[in-house]
Structure 1
């Protein structure tokens, strides 16, 4: 919203304003009102995957009354933008609600498997998870989830606070989203490098600083 306020006075009439911030649908709607009042055309954008390695081919969801116009321009630039609705907030809702699962699983990994590592039983816990859901390579996924939190935890925590706001806007409890934000912030604040590509090394690096 602050970015929209600061940019509104500088917009040319009819300019497209693509908002790719990770924030709640309500925040997107407030930003849209500011941009539209200034004569701009607001587009709700959700960035649905890490920008690296796909760079400009990273999949985007776009929404709002000007999404089709923005999509044509983005396609001409070789970008992957999919219109998902005419209402501002529809794209961001997809990203926010999906993050309950994606970032929540990272936080579950941290809470479950850091405890298992400290208790000296991670091999048995990982084996039990593997037996319950063999489609996932649990040691590899655990290492990856910790790396995401170590490298991107502070940014992901900010996003999860917006996810919590999204849930409150929907009239739902936000306990898991808020707890996920706490875990992401806690690990991100440690300022650790991802280091070796294995669960034990990353878990030990985190546990040594908690």
Structure 2
């Protein structure tokens, strides 16, 4: 009897949750950031979702991670620090239920984002077509200095290449490694003094030799 009551209670709770579940149509901002090496083809990153208002009821949230390759979800954390452990991942879209939060961050790793196109060149295809209607910002922080085609919004910092895209669309990206240029080593101050001293000694030796020869002729 008690078991039947427990089952009925569980069904009732589940029914109430489903009845209060809505779909996330209030997503106002999405920030996606990845960093890693195109050579090693391994990246870590996050997708941060911000909502226009706090999710008061259980809300189904679905977010597409726009990288072809092996995607692994590390964890999902709400703005109030609660871990969301139940999620569903299919075709790079992660879905889960959230409540009592206005911000959610999905941490992930992704492999094989780029394909080698030649010596020192790599290609990737980034699908941002699913982000129409929301504000979003994608930043790729690549280890190394690369020429980027098309250039999009590219800048360089601390030996890394940063690519930023904030418009929906389908983006093919090709990067070319910029060869490092070496500067000839300049002699140090001590080396310079040594060279000057050697030159003076050599000049004195030549001068003494000339004086000696002139005296012998006399």
Q: TM-score range by the shorter chain?
A: under 0.3
- The alignment's TM-score, normalised by the length of structure 1, stands at 0.27
Name the structure where helix makes up a greater proportion of residues: 1
Name the structure where strand makes up a greater proportion of residues: 2
